[in-house]
C-alpha cells in the first residue's frame, strides 16, 4: 500500500497535477449509460461510435462506406452527424433516431462553429490579438447560442494547436505562438461554449482539437508529419490542450498527423496514456475527417479492419466518416481482436456526453427557440464590431492615421468590398449578405461623395490578377483624393485547412498596384487582410501606415471605419511573429538562446545562430501593436525579490498614457529562468493585462505569478519549477526592456 501511495505521488509530480475527481453529474451520466449499454446489441454499440454526413441521403465519406443513411439511422447504426446546416433536417433525423430505432438513442449533431455561427467574429488568430479573454469567451457564447438554436449540439472548437509556421494556413484557427496565452484562450472558449450547464438550451459541447501537435506539421504543409522531442511538446504544445481539458471540454478530436511515428488516431500513448490517464480527460474522442481509414495510407494499417482495430485500441471513441467501425467492429470482437469490454467503455463515454447535453431527457431541446430571437441580435452585432476593432493591429503609422475629418479617400483593392472574404475560413452558418464591408462602412462614416472606390485587382481561389484597366482607374481615383486606403493581402479562401503556401508574400499583382499608387505621391494606408503572418517588408517600406485588419468577420467594415476615423483607438497586439522572410520560419519570440546567440538581433552576422543575409529578428515581434496614443512603462517593482517555491511572485509596473487621446494597451510580463536544468526560452509570457487609460492617466498594474506557473518539463519529464534566479520584463511587446529580477528559494 505504502509503495502504491509513493508511486501515485511520483506520478502526480510527473504529470503536473492529479486528474480531478469525477463530478456528481458525470457519475450520473456514466451510470445512465451503463444501464443502456446492457440493452444494446454489438452492432448498435458500434453505431454509437460512428459519425456520418448526409449528402442527399447517401453517406459519402472519402474511402468510407456508401449506405442508405436513413435506414442506418432507423437501425441505430449512426451515433452522430456532422455538418447539418438546416435545423429542420436535423430535427427530422433526430425524430427518426428517437422514434424509429429500437432503443431510441438520440443523435448528436456536430459542426465547425469556429469563430461564430451566424454572426462571424474575426478569425481566431485575429481575435487572440485582442488579448481580451472576456470578449473571446463571449464570442464563443454567442456562437453557442446561435448553434444550439439551430439544433447543433457540438462544435469542433477550440483549435488549441500552437504553431510557429505561417506557411501553415491553419494558423488562422488558433491563438498564435504562445502556450500561456493559448491556454488562457482555450479555456475561455470552452467556458463560452459549454457555460456552467451543458444541458442548458443555449450551451453546446466543445471539442479540443487537433490532438496533438498538428500545428508543428513539417515545412508548414498541412497534414504533414510531426516529430519533436517530448520535452518540446510538453513545454510548448501541450499547455492549451491541457487547459481546455481542465476547463471541462467534453470532447477531443484526434489530429491527422503522426506523432512519435504513430498517426494520432491510432496512437494509444496520445489518446489514452496522456489524454486520459495523465490529463484526466473523461469525455469522448472523435477522429478527424476519415483519419481512421487514412491510417492505411500512413502505412500502419493493412486495411480498414486493421485501422479500426488500431483506433479502437488507442481508445478513439468515434470514427468521423470513415465507416470502418461499423463495417468491421463486430468482426473484430468476434475474432477476439477487440474486447467487448473496451467497446462498452468507448460507447459509455459517448452516451454520457449525450446524456449531459440533456438529449435523453429531451432530444429536441436544441431546436425549439424562435430563431429571430437568437440570430444576428443587434447587441451581438455591436459586440462583433467591438471585438473586430480590438483584434486589428496597427503595425505602422507615420502620422497618417487617424484620418482627418472631411478627407477624400481613394479606397482601392480586392478586399475593400468583399463580403465573403472578410468572413475568412470556416464561416459557420454565416451569411455573407449580412457582412458590412469596408466600403459600405467608410461611405457611411465619411460620406459617399468622399469615398472613391475601385477594386483594381482580383485575389482568391480562381484568380490573382489586375483587372482590365484596374491600375489606371486606381491611379486616377488616387490622384483625385487626399489619401489612399489600399486593401490588400490574402483572401478568405487562402485561410484555414489545406491552403499551405511556400511563399508568404502578398501576390505580385497587388504589389504592382501598390507600386503604381506609390508613384502618385499620395500617402498610402495599407489595410492588410490575411489569416496568417506574411512577409510584408515591401509593403511596410512603401506604405505610410499599415493596419492589420485580418479577416474580421461580419462587422469588419464598421470596425475599420471606427479605427481609421479615430473613433476607436487601435489596441490589438500580435500573437504570432511576422517574419522578415519565409526563410526565418519558424520564428517565434520564445526561442532558445543557444550557445551562440547573435550580438544584435537586427544585423546579419556570421558565427552566431542567425543569418548572414538577413536580420535575426522578425519584422514585427510577438506582442507588437501601436496606438494613436503613447504608453510609457515605468517603475517596475519586484515586490517579492525572493519567494519560496510554491509561493507567488509579485511585480508591479506603472503605465502612463502620455498622449492626447484615450487608449487601451496590453501590459505583458515576460520571464527568463537564468540557470535551468534544460535550456529554456529567452523569454516566456507569464502574465498580461488589458487596460484602458484616459489621456494623461496612469495606472499601477500588479502581476501575481504563482511559482507553479514557472514550471517546465525537465529531462526526466517531470513538471516542476526550478529554484534560482529569474529575470522579469514588463512592457507592450516581447522586446519589453523594463527589467527586474527575483529568486526562488
The footprint of ligand BGC (CB under 6 A) covers 82, 112, 156, 209, 288-289, 497
Measure the CA–CA gap between 411 and 393, rounded to whole angstroms: 19
d(CA 74, CA 80): 13
CB within 8 A of 550, min separation 6: which ones?
122, 123, 125, 126, 129, 391, 392, 424, 528, 529, 530, 531, 556
- Grid cell at residue 492: 478568405
Cell numbers found for residue 166: 505561417
Beta carbon of residue 632, minimum distance to ligand BGC (angstroms, whole number): 43
Burial 633-668 (b: 16+ CB within 10 A, else e): beebebebeebeeeeebbbbbbbbbebeebbbbbbb
Residue 742's SS3 state is: strand
When the beta carbons of 82 and 556 are compared against ligand BGC, the nearer one is 82
**Three-state DSSP state, 483:** strand
Dihedral (C-alpha) 386, 388, 391, 396: value to the nearest 10 degrees? -100
Task: Name the minimum Å distance from CB 286 to ligand BGC.
Answer: 9
User: Residue 182 corresponds to which cell in the numbers above?
Assistant: 493559448
| Nearer residue to ligand BGC within complex by CB, 317 or 380 | 317
Q: Is the peptide bond before 310 cis (omega within 30 degrees of 0)?
A: no
Distances (CA, A) of 162 to 137, 372, 494, 506: 19, 37, 19, 24
Residue 278 and residue 411: Cα distance in Å, rounded?
54
Cβ proximity to ligand BGC: between 76 and 322 the closer is: 322
Strand order in the sheet with 207-211: 207-211, 251-254, 284-286
Q: Please give the Cα distance from 712 to 325 (Å, whole number).
A: 39
Name which of 137 and 173 has its Cβ closer to ligand BGC.
173
Distance CA 190, CA 154 (A): 11
Cβ at position 124, least distance to ligand BGC in Å:
12
Cell readout for 306 is: 486493421
Beta strands in 398-445 (DSSP E): 409-412
The minimum distance between CB 305 and ligand BGC, in angstroms, equals: 23
Instruction: Return d(Cα 108, Cα 188) in angstroms, integer.
Output: 23
Closest approach of Cβ 209 to ligand BGC, in Å? Answer: 6
* Minimum distance, C-beta of residue 156 to ligand BGC, in the bound complex (Å): 3
Q: How far is the CB of 464 from ligand BGC (least distance, A)?
A: 25
Judged by beta carbon, residue 209 or residue 315, the one nearer ligand BGC is 209
Residue with cell 487582410: 529
Least CB distance from residue 289 to ligand BGC, whole Å?
4
What DSSP string runs through 104-143?
-PPPEEEE--SS-SSSPPPPHHHHHTTT-HHHHHHHHHHH
Helix, strand, coil percentages in the chain from 3-state DSSP, rounded to 5:
35, 20, 45
Check: CB of residue 550 under 8 Å from CB of residue 125: yes
Omega within 30 of 0 (cis) for the link into 586 = yes
Three-state SS for 14? helix
Active site residues: 288
Which is nearest to 198 in space by CA: 431, 76, 354, 405? Answer: 354
Q: How far is the CB of 427 from ligand BGC (least distance, A)?
A: 12
Contact 635, 641 (CB under 8 A): no
As separate numbers, helices (DSSP H) first and strands (DSSP E) second, the chain gives 21, 28
The span from the CA of 230 to the CA of 690, in Å, is: 33
Distance CA 637, CA 47 (A): 61
- C-beta closer to ligand BGC: residue 200 or 296: 296
Task: Give the residue with the Cβ less far from ligand BGC, 78 or 525.
Answer: 78
d(CA 275, CA 245): 9
Residue 120: CB minimum distance to ligand BGC, A: 16
> Nearest distance from residue 551's CB to ligand BGC, in Å?
17
Residue number, 82 or 274, with CB nearest to ligand BGC: 82
By beta-carbon distance, which residue lies closest to ligand BGC?
A: 156
Kindly tell me which of 82 and 359 has the beta carbon lying closer to ligand BGC: 82
The C-alpha atoms of residue 486 and residue 523 are separated, in whole angstroms, by: 10
Give the nearest distance from C-beta 272 to ligand BGC in angstroms.
21
Q: Taking a C-beta distance cutoff of 8 angstroms, is the pair 227, 262 a contact?
A: no
Question: For ligand BGC, which is the closer residue by CB, 186 or 730?
Answer: 186
E strands present in 256-316 = 258-259, 262-263, 284-286
Q: Which residues contact 426 (CB under 8 A, 6 or more apart)?
A: 112, 114, 115, 173, 496
Looking at the Cβ atoms of 482 and 497, the one nearer to ligand BGC is 497
Please say whether the beta carbons of 76 and 101 come within 8 A: yes
Alpha-carbon distance of 441 to 203, in angstroms, equals: 33
Taking the least distance from each CB to ligand BGC, the nearer of 251 and 491 is 251
Whichever of 289 and 550 has its CB closer to ligand BGC, that residue is 289
Smallest gap, in angstroms, from Cβ of residue 208 to ligand BGC?
A: 11
Amino acid at each position: 500500500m505504502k509503495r502504491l501511495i509513493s508511486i501515485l505521488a511520483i506520478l502526480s509530480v510527473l504529470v503536473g497535477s492529479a486528474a480531478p475527481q469525477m463530478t456528481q453529474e458525470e457519475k450520473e451520466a456514466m451510470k445512465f449509460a451503463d444501464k443502456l449499454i446492457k440493452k444494446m446489441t454489438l452492432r448498435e454499440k458500434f453505431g454509437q461510435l460512428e459519425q456520418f454526413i448526409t449528402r442527399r441521403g447517401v453517406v459519402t465519406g472519402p474511402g468510407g462506406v456508401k449506405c442508405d443513411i436513413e435506414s442506418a439511422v432507423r437501425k441505430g447504426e449512426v451515433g452522430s452527424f456532422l455538418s447539418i446546416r438546416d435545423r429542420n433536417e436535423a430535427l427530422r433525423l433526430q425524430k427518426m433516431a428517437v422514434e424509429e430505432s429500437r432503443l431510441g438513442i438520440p443523435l448528436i449533431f456536430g459542426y465547425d462553429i469556429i469563430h461564430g455561427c451566424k454572426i462571424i467574429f474575426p478569425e481566431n488568430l485575429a481575435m487572440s490579438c485582442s488579448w481580451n479573454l472576456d470578449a473571446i469567451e463571449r464570442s464563443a457564447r454567442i456562437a453557442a447560442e446561435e448553434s444550439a438554436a439551430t439544433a447543433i449540439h457540438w462544435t469542433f472548437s477550440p483549435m488549441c494547436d500552437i504553431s510557429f509556421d505561417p506557411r501553415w494556413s491553419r494558423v488562422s484557427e488558433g491563438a498564435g505562438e504562445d502556450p500561456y496565452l493559448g491556454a488562457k484562450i482555450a479555456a475561455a472558449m470552452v467556458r463560452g461554449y459549454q457555460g456552467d450547464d451543458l444541458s442548458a438550451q443555449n450551451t453546446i459541447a466543445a471539442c479540443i482539437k487537433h490532438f496533438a501537435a498538428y500545428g508543428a506539421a513539417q515545412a508548414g504543409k498541412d497534414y504533414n508529419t510531426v516529430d519533436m522531442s517530448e520535452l518540446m511538446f510538453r513545454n510548448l504544445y501541450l499547455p492549451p490542450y491541457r487547459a481546455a481539458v481542465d476547463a471541462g471540454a467534453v470532447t477531443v478530436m484526434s489530429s491527422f498527423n503522426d506523432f512519435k511515428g504513430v498517426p494520432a488516431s491510432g496512437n494509444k500513448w496520445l489518446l489514452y496514456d496522456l489524454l486520459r490517464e495523465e490529463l484526466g480527460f473523461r469525455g469522448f474522442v472523435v477522429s478527424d475527417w476519415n483519419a481512421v481509414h487514412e491510417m492505411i495510407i500512413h502505412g500502419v494499417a493493412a486495411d480498414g479492419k486493421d485501422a479500426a482495430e488500431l483506433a479502437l485500441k488507442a481508445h478513439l471513441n468515434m470514427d468521423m466518416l470513415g465507416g470502418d467501425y461499423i463495417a468491421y467492429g463486430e468482426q473484430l470482437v468476434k475474432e477476439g481482436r477487440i474486447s467487448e469490454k473496451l467497446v462498452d467503455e468507448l460507447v459509455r463515454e459517448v452516451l454520457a456526453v449525450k446524456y449531459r447535453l440533456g438529449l435523453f431527457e429531451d432530444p429536441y431541446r436544441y431546436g425549439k427557440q424562435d430563431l429571430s430571437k437568437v440570430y444576428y441580435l443587434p447587441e451581438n452585432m455591436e459586440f462583433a464590431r467591438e471585438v473586430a476593432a480590438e483584434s486589428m493591429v496597427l503595425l505602422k503609422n507615420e502620422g497618417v492615421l487617424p484620418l482627418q475629418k472631411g478627407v477624400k479617400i481613394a479606397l482601392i483593392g480586392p478586399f475593400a468590398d468583399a463580403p465573403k472574404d472578410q468572413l475568412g475560413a470556416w464561416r459557420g452558418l454565416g451569411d455573407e449578405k449580412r457582412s458590412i464591408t469596408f466600403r459600405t462602412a467608410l461611405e457611411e462614416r465619411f460620406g459617399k461623395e468622399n469615398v472613391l472606390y475601385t477594386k483594381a485587382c482580383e485575389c482568391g481561389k480562381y484568380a490573382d490578377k489586375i483587372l482590365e484597366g484596374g491600375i489606371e482607374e486606381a491611379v486616377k481615383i488616387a490622384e483625385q483624393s487626399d489619401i489612399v486606403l489600399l486593401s490588400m493581402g490574402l483572401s478568405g479562401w487562402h485561410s484555414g485547412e489545406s491552403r499551405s503556401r511556400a511563399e508568404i508574400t502578398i501576390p505580385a499583382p497587388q504589389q504592382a498596384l501598390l507600386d503604381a499608387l506609390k508613384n502618385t505621391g499620395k500617402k498610402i494606408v495599407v489595410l492588410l487582410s490575411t489569416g496568417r503572418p506574411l512577409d510584408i517588408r515591401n509593403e511596410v517600406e512603401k506604405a505610410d501606415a499599415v493596419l492589420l485588419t485580418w479577416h474580421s468577420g461580419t462587422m469588419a467594415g464598421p470596425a475599420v471605419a471606427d479605427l481609421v476615423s479615430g473613433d476607436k483607438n487601435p489596441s490589438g497586439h500580435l500573437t504570432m511573429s511576422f517574419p522578415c522572410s519565409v526563410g526565418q520560419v519558424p520564428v517565434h519570440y520564445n526561442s532558445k538562446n543557444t550557445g551562440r546567440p547573435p550580438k544584435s538581433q537586427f544585423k546579419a552576422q556570421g558565427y552566431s545562430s542567425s543569418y548572414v543575409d538577413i536580420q535575426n529578428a522578425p519584422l514585427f515581434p510577438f506582442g507588437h501593436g501601436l496606438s494613436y496614443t503613447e504608453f510609457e512603462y515605468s517603475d517596475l517593482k519586484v515586490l517579492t525579490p525572493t519567494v519560496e517555491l510554491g509561493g507567488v511572485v509579485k511585480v508591479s509596473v506603472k503605465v502612463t498614457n502620455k498622449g492626447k487621446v484615450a487608449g487601451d494597451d496590453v501590459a505583458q510580463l515576460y520571464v527568463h529562468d537564468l540557470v535551468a536544468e534544460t535550456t529554456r526560452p529567452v523569454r516566456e509570457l507569464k502574465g498580461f493585462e488589458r487596460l484602458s487609460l484616459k489621456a494623461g492617466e496612469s495606472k499601477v498594474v500588479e502581476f501575481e505569478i504563482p511559482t507553479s506557473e514557472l514550471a517546465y518539463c525537465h529531462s526526466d519529464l517531470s513538471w516542476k519549477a526550478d529554484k534560482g534566479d529569474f529575470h522579469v520584463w514588463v512592457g507592450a511587446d516581447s522586446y519589453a526592456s523594463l527589467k527586474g529580477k527575483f529568486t526562488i528559494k
